[in-house]
Chains A and B, each alone.
Chain A
């Protein structure tokens, strides 16, 4: 886990395209009369985890779904690897807040479902699914159904399904908000490990400041009405530290405080 991350100065000087997996440029979104996003621009460095952090209702899910191609922006555009997004694509996979598992299908079929929709042959997709089921720590539950699993285990299924399609960009919408606190901490540790191993670009929505600081390479703070990126924070020093000690680290605590200071005025 304590693996060196891409150097920030390199990211900035080496210029755009190859370093940035996803670029959001001037995106606006209005729902009827509700202006959810206004002229939002943000870059997501390849191989890193970027958190979208902000109070609820500030447009985090909206932005994530626009990147996923599930929603059309009212204005602006999103590029993934230099290609404009026009809809969902195999380069992105989504992890849903409420898991979105098929209740009538086993864990194995759920994890393989993305591959099934892509027409991958049964034996092949089940072999891949089994690999990722093991990876998220659910070996032995292949034949179980979602309603037989705890919330935390269900989200592991959702995560394995997203990993199994081997998309470059993983979009996670508050994936840990529906699981209990202990499970959540374990998830956060596992996520750091996953970012280090998988060389994928993670876009992670959360409303928890601690969680964002704990897991992120880059935190984009979104402020509401209409939403914009107010600040980008890179807790770089933390990424080289041992995960077990991060929560006691003074840099960690400083960043948490700093973010709270800028968010508190938006919470009544």
Chain B
């Protein structure tokens, strides 16, 4: 961003918004919005507490497990769909339906099927993340240069080698793009799971703080959550840029 010819560091607009928040908060405009300084002070206060760390652990665990399954199942399924016409015709309608479906509405069904524990939360997280990962891996494989496929065949690649040494790497830029969006959706999934299925983790904290009108606490947890999600997405975007140099060259 440039103002009056002076180059400002990235995200300096955040400072502006932070200031605005502080000012509006100080006017006592609404109990809902305490000043930013108070939120940050609260953040320091609660970040070391056992309750916060337990919540962080529960959320991180459900999130990572959900993303893990989404990646480990989603990428191979997407690659298979990209390679096999039959599998593609069988699965594509379902993938498209679930990608655009309001998954939150499915959560009660998941509770019936998988109970009220961690399992249902992890599955919810996976369901939020997996479809876009599948679709992107599929698109990546379908975009592979035909000569690369023929090259692998002509030098006698067995299917497993072709899969791990050629298709996966050739599709990697798209795959990482899918994982990045999937991870962002998984954040939604895990919080919705923790609010609807069983009140644990950050979901429980949100519940607790908002029910007791502890708005500084509420915002503090929200800031932590946003910061974590943002950092993760930025890290994946950075990885994506690292492989982007060859996306054009395929």
Quick check: B155 and A117 within 8 Å, CB to CB?
yes
Quick check: B154 and A102 within 8 Å, CB to CB?
no
Q: CA separation between A97 and B147, bound complex, in Å?
A: 9
Interface residues of B in 102-135 (CB under 8 A from A): none
A34-42, A88-96, A208-216, A228-236: which lies at the interface: A88-96
Q: Smallest Cβ distance from A120 to chain B, in angstroms?
A: 12
Q: Smallest Cβ distance from A127 to chain B, in angstroms?
A: 18
Cβ of A118 within 8 Å of any chain B Cβ, yes or no, is yes
Assuming A113-B155, A114-B155, A117-B157, is B249 touching A103 (CB within 8 A)?
Answer: yes
Interface of B (DSSP majority class):
helix
Q: Mark B145-163, 1 if CB is under 8 A from A, else 0.
A: 1011011111111100100
Interchain CB contact (< 8 A) of B166 among A92, A96, A102, A147: A102
Quick check: B150 and A94 within 8 Å, CB to CB?
yes
Interface residues of A in 65-100 (CB under 8 A from B): 65, 68-70, 88-90, 92-94, 96-100
Assuming A94-B150, A94-B151, A96-B151, is B169 touching A102 (CB within 8 A)?
Answer: yes
Q: Smallest Cβ distance from B151 to chain A, in angstroms?
A: 4
Interface of A (DSSP majority class):
loop
On chain B, the residues within 8 Å of A100 by CB distance are 145, 147-148, 150-151
Quick check: B161 and A98 within 8 Å, CB to CB?
no
Quick check: B148 and A146 within 8 Å, CB to CB?
no
Q: Smallest Cβ distance from B249 to chain A, in angstroms?
A: 4
Interface size on A (CB < 8 Å)? 27
Quick check: A165 and B245 within 8 Å, CB to CB?
no
Q: Smallest Cβ distance from A169 to chain B, in angstroms?
A: 12
Quick check: A90 and B154 within 8 Å, CB to CB?
no
Q: CA separation between A89 and B155, bound complex, in Å?
A: 7
Cβ of A266 within 8 Å of any chain B Cβ, yes or no, is no
On chain A, the residues within 8 Å of B155 by CB distance are 88, 93-94, 113-114, 117-118, 161, 165
Q: A70-B150, A114-B156 are in contact. List 12 more A-B contacts (CB 8 A).
A: A68-B154, A70-B154, A88-B154, A89-B156, A94-B151, A98-B145, A99-B147, A100-B147, A103-B245, A113-B155, A117-B157, A165-B155
Give chain B's interface residues, CB within 8 Å of chain A: 145, 147-148, 150-158, 161, 165-166, 169, 172, 243, 245-246, 249-250
Between A and B, 14 residue pairs with Cβ closer than 8 Å are A68-B154, A69-B154, A92-B154, A94-B154, A94-B155, A96-B147, A100-B145, A100-B147, A102-B166, A103-B250, A116-B165, A146-B249, A147-B249, A161-B155
Give chain A's interface residues, CB within 8 Å of chain B: 65, 68-70, 88-90, 92-94, 96-100, 102-104, 113-114, 116-118, 146-147, 161, 165
